[in-house]
């Protein structure tokens, strides 16, 4: 459903109802101008902790802070008018237990106005998900490849290569569902495993490096637009924004150097009394 036909903002309940129905469309957003462009096309926008890598130049998402997520969440909420906005809880802001998670999540929701938070959900976070949802904070889970755990797993590696990995991902998904998550991101898993997760849980699955059988899809917007020379295997470039931006900047630099900018249309001529 496009924003032109939406009379109100999408809710978590709306997303839940899409299980097994029309695929859910999502992209990441980190600022107001891009959020306003994405809003008419997306059911929800994720203010992902990927902002640390694609905007701030960090090597992983581990260095992202709660203050950073709140700042970018506020910006996205200013630009998005009808899409549900979900904000990641960053590394270190919820793992200590339910009370820490509630303090972080409630601050995010109060200071940004977003509709939900997302956490990377191992089995150990089930109590956290339940604690949050019982207190009025909708939670989107994230299973499979979990970027915040990169220092334990040894890198960004797809999951599902062994029976143990498959069992772990399924356990994560089932625990998150039972704890009350309204949807879950399934990242970087074997295609068959992604289908198995989708068929096992009763809540929508949002694939990224997973399978077209998921209930929806999400990509990191700068990756999808072709802003970087390298992108993960699972990314399809739907545009070449880097090349077009480079062309525009080259034209601007040339116009400045040959003094054709600013021209007649871009200067002020103040009338004198």
Is 118 annotated as ligand-binding? yes
Burial level of 173, CB count in 10 A (0-12/13-18/19+)? buried
Catalytic residues: 187
Q: Collapse the DSSP code of 187 into the 3-class scheme (helix H, G, I; strand E, B; otherwise coil) and give the result.
A: strand
Question: For 59-62, which contacts have Cβ atoms below 8 Å and span 24 or more sequence positions?
Answer: 60/147, 60/150, 60/151, 61/90, 61/91, 61/147, 61/148, 61/150, 62/91, 62/148, 62/150, 62/151
Say how many residues make up the chain: 273
Helix (H, G, I), strand (E, B) or coil at 118: strand
CB distance 165 to 153 below 8 Å: no
Residue 233, annotated as binding a ligand: no
164 is in an annotated binding site: no
**Tokens found for residue 41:** 């096309």
120 in a labelled binding site:
yes
What is the C-alpha to C-alpha distance for residues 108 and 92, in angstroms, rounded to an integer?
Answer: 14
CA distance 160 to 177: 20
Q: Which residues contact 96 (CB under 8 A, 6 or more apart)?
A: none
Is 115 within 8 Å of 46 (Cβ atoms)?
no
| Whether 26 contacts 64, CB under 8 Å | no
Residue 50 counted as an annotated binding residue: yes
Annotated binding residues for 3-methyl-2-oxobutanoate:
49-50, 88, 118
* Binding-site annotation, residues: 49-50, 88, 118, 120
- The annotated binding site for Mg(2+) is made up of 49, 88, 120
């Amino acid at each position: 459903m496009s924003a032109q036909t939406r009379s109100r903002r999408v809710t978590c309940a709306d997303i839940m109802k899409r299980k097994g129905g029309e695929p859910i469309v999502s992209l990441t957003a980190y600022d107001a101008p891009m959020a306003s462009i994405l809003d008419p096309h997306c059911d929800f926008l994720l203010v992902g902790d990927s902002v640390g890598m694609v905007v701030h130049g960090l090597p992983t998402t581990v260095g992202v802070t709660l203050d950073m997520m709140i700042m970018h969440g506020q910006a996205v909420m200013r630009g998005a008018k009808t899409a549900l906005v979900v904000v990641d809880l960053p590394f270190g802001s919820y793992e200590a237990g339910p009370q820490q998670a509630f303090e972080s999540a409630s601050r995010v929701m109060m200071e940004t106005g977003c509709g939900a938070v997302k956490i990377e959900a191992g089995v150990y976070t089930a109590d956290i998900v339940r604690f949050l949802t019982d207190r009025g904070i909708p939670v989107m889970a994230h299973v499979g490849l979990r970027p915040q755990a990169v220092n334990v797993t040894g890198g960004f590696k797809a999951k599902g290569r062994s029976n143990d990995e498959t069992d772990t991902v399924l356990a994560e998904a089932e625990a998150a569902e039972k704890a009350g998550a309204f949807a879950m991101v399934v990242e970087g898993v074997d295609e068959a495993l992604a289908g198995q997760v989708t068929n096992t849980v009763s809540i929508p699955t949002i694939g990224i490096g997973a399978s077209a059988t998921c209930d929806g899809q999400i990509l990191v917007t700068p990756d999808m637009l072709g802003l970087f020379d390298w992108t993960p295997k699972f990314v399809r470039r739907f545009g070449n924004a880097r090349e077009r931006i480079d062309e525009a900047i080259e034209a601007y630099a040339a116009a400045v150097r040959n003094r054709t900018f600013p021209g007649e249309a871009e200067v002020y001529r103040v009338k004198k009394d």
